A and B are shown apart, each in its own frame.
Chain A
């Protein structure tokens, strides 16, 4: 194999590299802008290495060298051989952090080694991605094989649990992104829709009421059954039944009936009325072949009801106060711009005030005068939105979309499953980070502190994502060389 300049250029996925550098450079610009707020005047902002943008530039230099090393010096065979070393070393670091880590902003997720401060949780994505790719690469791997599924689940859940113990809820949530990879690789197609339904029911139960959420669940299932069976009669009966049940809360409030009905919540009455019938039908359907659809529907109904009934308990009894307040603030149950909702309130003001084309570089008042907290790390997108406006924000989002789509399309071209799965993992990690981070700054997601990939200030995050991407680029590099 001859390494000429020509082939070298062809073997590197430049479109991904370009997106990668574009995001880092734009991130540097915004870190510079958001961390010079303390300067006395808007115009006078000098240069110093001992600042966030100086530090980030140094990190950028280090990462650049690392990128070259990963791309040209570490063959993918290295990861095949050492994947379990890497994985368990990561687990060890995560566990160690729980005991000897330093607490920053309520999260005990930092390991301090002399002048270096690292966040092992950020790096764990790499190890998990490699491990998942290794497991799924095996020829015998199948989602129908229970051993494989359990193994995959453990690979995910153990680091997730450790990260949760470090109180880095956001980074743990990122792991849900691997479900997308599993879906791509053949996981049961109902897992994702049912997961989304579960989230929707939990939110409805909090925002409206458990009773309303149960009626909506019944309605969704009714429509599903109607579509599957193609029988309008079912829909008709169902609508009448649901409409009749909708009067339950009123009945409970009638004074004459209150001594009896008022003892339990309407949703409990609903369950008491419907659950025996559902159970009876489920048991009956076990003996009849044609009724599997009915059985599935009713199982989903009972599981959904259980989820709805447990949601309030979990939110009000199990979650920590600040988490509950954030969820309530996000869902609009509690309007609290000075308390739990302060961050989101200020960040939406910053982004919203940017308008179409923004206030211009170094001219954002909200981010520069510290109205937005954490404006160079988790809330860097506020600076983008305020100073560069809708145009700049969409530019950044477009960059991410392109990066993710390029990664997916490149992964799909890989011959070996290891590289394909790994490529999907990289895309999924970036996607989850972007969705959670941007969603949080514009009030679509609860405030969960995770960085915006490549843009946010922070060495660990920048380095973790660079390694993640450049390991994949090496795989692609090798594939193109063949």
Chain B
């Protein structure tokens, strides 16, 4: 035994201590810290997304408006492609540029270490027809594969703006909706956007083992934990698909909107914004997007809910109801009209008609002077003490139709329109320095009013219902997919239904009356249509042609508003269009004696009358 043999004990103690540190660290990373297990799964498990079929969009009778068709994403695993493939043949099959394909491959080559064996998307949404050609020659293209995705197909040539389109989500969208992943599709406009939650379904996944090169090695637990995709739910819309298509045919080559509502439910039967997005563009929106955005007629703009315009003479109906309710006029009240309303230097012109007229005749013949008198009587009613108070009371009546604010429909992008306020007139004329005469143009629907075509259609529906409306909506109420409660509520207006009958009589006369009736062209054989024309002046060109109506008079099935920009008199364009739509809906066709009218409307091109910025 040497004198240093005690050191063996020291050394053994040190050795054991060092091994204790190692075992301690092992204990920590293997048993205490769970993050390594999670990391290992991230490393070795690959979740492959299974995309669900998107829900269909059906019309009110169950007809499929928007269906699905299989399309294919062409995937490439660049790492597998060792030899050059026949790029020209490939590009011929898919009708793409060789330069595009080459550029993609160059890009992948740059990131090859990052990509590994991960398949990359080369072409998106290839139609099944092209894919089947490709599939036959697949052995010429090792490393290529097609992944089925659903794409939209459109069975009616109608509803472009209403239906909207789906497109791949971008970074901004994902930021706002974190449940989406790159490569997902989402509804961006119209119903596709409004009902995204219902339509999209639920993604599933399949779990695979992968190696460090991202190569799939095996299924994880033989698919035990895979989750199948859940298909989206179909949406039933209130739209009547054939009616919508008919409406769009009538509106072709015109700028404006056509809205039809079922008064008894608030269902929107048809909603046309013209010029609109051609449905054939929707499926491949990316291809046409720039074309649509730069089109001077702005087809992406849904005029029916986004374009507030002066309503013109149809607004006389509102003033008639207010006058009656306020008691400032009676149905028998007559006002004189000498081709207009003249006070001092102010003249509101009118056309030639007998004088004086009572209320029903004034509606029938659309007398401007009558409603100037009525309007001033409402505003200057001694009951209110001041013009301001009178105007506020008048405004409250107008707002009861939902005018001036959003109705709250389920159509994305709805605007409320413009409703003048007392403050606004203070700014124009000075504080309280305005009189009923200053704002008299409101009496005939001109001036500071901006009402969307949807509001106009709602006005027609309210009159048809004799005093109430349902918020117009495009989702059909169905037991398996009920609509929001707000669409089932009646919104009442503060007018006696008796007054409605008076106004409706005037509307009936306007269409079905004798000499002087303004809308006789809207007469439909066998049905009593009640309507009111409007001719909205505007500083940009010819007047806008306006018409609202409903039918049949006693049991209204449909209320329509037509707004044709810069077309001229209401009776010339809007009235025939609206009445043809009504006839189509009620009679499922156009009577032979009115075929000429249908032809005239369809073939008319009024685009040139609209001044657009080019």
Contact = CB atoms under 8 A, between A and B. Distances in A.
Interface of A: 37, 40-42, 180, 183-186, 189, 346, 348-356, 365-366, 369-371, 385-386, 389-390, 393-394, 397, 400-401, 404-405, 408, 412, 431, 435, 438-439, 442-444
A405 B12 contact: yes
Given A352-B30, A352-B37, A369 B217 contact: yes
Contacts of A186: 2-4
Contacts of B8: 184, 408, 412
B388 interface: no
A385 B7 contact: no
A183 B15 contact: no
A412 B5 CA distance: 8
A332 to B, nearest CB: 14
A390 B31 contact: yes
Given A184-B8, A352-B33, A365-B209, A444 B25 contact: yes
Contacts of A401: 15-16, 19
Interface in B1-50: 2-5, 7-8, 11-12, 15-16, 18-19, 21-23, 25-27, 29-31, 33, 35-37, 39-41, 43-45
Interface in B179-223: 209-213, 217-218
B609 to A, nearest CB: 64
A201 B213 CA distance: 41
Nearest to A357: B30
Contact of B21 (A404, A408, A444): A444
Contacts of B29: 348, 351-352, 442
Contacts of B2: 186
B26 A369 contact: no
Contacts of B217: 40-42, 369
The 8 lowest CB-CB distance pairs between A and B, nearest first, are A352-B36, A353-B40, A369-B211, A365-B44, A352-B29, A370-B212, A390-B30, A349-B39
A355 B26 CA distance: 10
B23 A394 contact: yes
Nearest to B21: A444
B212 A371 contact: yes
A363 B210 CA distance: 13
Contacts of A352: 29-30, 33, 35-37, 39-40
A369 B30 contact: no
B30 A185 contact: no
A369 B23 contact: no
Contacts of A400: 19
Nearest to A43: B218
A355 B19 CA distance: 19
B37 A369 contact: no
Given A183-B7, A351-B29, A389-B30, A365 B35 contact: no
Contacts of A443: 25
Contacts of A390: 26-27, 30-31
Q: Which of A349, A350, A352, A405 has the most CB of B within 10 A?
A: A352
Q: Which of B26, B45, B217 has the most CB of A within 10 A?
A: B26
B40 A408 contact: no
Contacts of A348: 29, 36
A20 B5 CA distance: 26
A186 B35 CA distance: 47
Interface residue tally on B, bucketed by range:
35 or more
B23 A353 contact: no
Given A389-B30, A397-B19, A397-B22, A366 B218 contact: no
Contact of B22 (A184, A386, A442): A442
A450 to B, nearest CB: 15
B225 to A, nearest CB: 15
Given A41-B218, A351-B29, A442-B29, A371 B11 contact: no
Contacts of A412: 5, 8
A184 B217 CA distance: 53
B180 to A, nearest CB: 27
Interface in B291-305: none
A397 B40 contact: no
Nearest to A400: B19
B40 A365 contact: yes
A207 B29 CA distance: 22
6 contacts: A353-B39, A354-B30, A369-B212, A393-B26, A408-B8, A442-B29
Contacts of B3: 186
A442 B282 CA distance: 56
Contacts of A404: 15
A431 B251 CA distance: 90
Q: Which of B21, B29, B30 has the most CB of A within 10 A?
A: B30
A435 B26 contact: no
Interface in B410-453: none
Contacts of A184: 4, 7-8, 11
Nearest to B33: A352
Contacts of B26: 351, 385, 390, 393-394, 397, 442
B50 to A, nearest CB: 22
A404 to B, nearest CB: 7
Nearest to A370: B212
Contacts of B39: 349, 352-353
A183 B36 contact: no
A370 B211 contact: yes
Nearest to A345: B39
Contacts of B12: 405, 408
B21 to A, nearest CB: 7
B210 A431 contact: no
B394 to A, nearest CB: 71
A431 B26 CA distance: 18
A355 B30 contact: yes
Q: Which of B7, B23, B25, B36 has the most CB of A within 10 A?
A: B36
Contacts of B35: 352
Contacts of A369: 43-44, 209-212, 217
Contacts of B15: 401, 404-405, 431
B389 to A, nearest CB: 69
B43 A366 contact: yes
A91 B545 CA distance: 106
B211 A444 contact: no
A353 B11 contact: no
Nearest to A42: B218
A352 B41 CA distance: 12
Nearest to A393: B26
B101 to A, nearest CB: 30
A23 to B, nearest CB: 15
A348 B22 CA distance: 13
A442 B21 CA distance: 11
B117 to A, nearest CB: 12
Interface string B305-330: 00000000000000000000000000
A354 B218 CA distance: 20
A51 B79 CA distance: 25
Nearest to B30: A390
A176 to B, nearest CB: 13
A482 B275 CA distance: 112
A349 B43 contact: yes
A88 to B, nearest CB: 30
Nearest to A338: B114
A435 B18 contact: yes
A350 B29 CA distance: 10
A346 B29 CA distance: 13
Nearest to A184: B7
Contact of A355 (B7, B11, B31, B43): B31
A188 to B, nearest CB: 11
A186 B7 CA distance: 9
Nearest to A186: B4
A235 to B, nearest CB: 27
Contacts of A346: 43
Given A349-B43, A369-B43, A386-B40, 14 more contacts: A42-B218, A184-B8, A184-B11, A351-B30, A365-B45, A366-B40, A401-B16, A401-B19, A404-B15, A405-B15, A408-B11, A412-B5, A435-B18, A442-B26
A349 B40 contact: yes
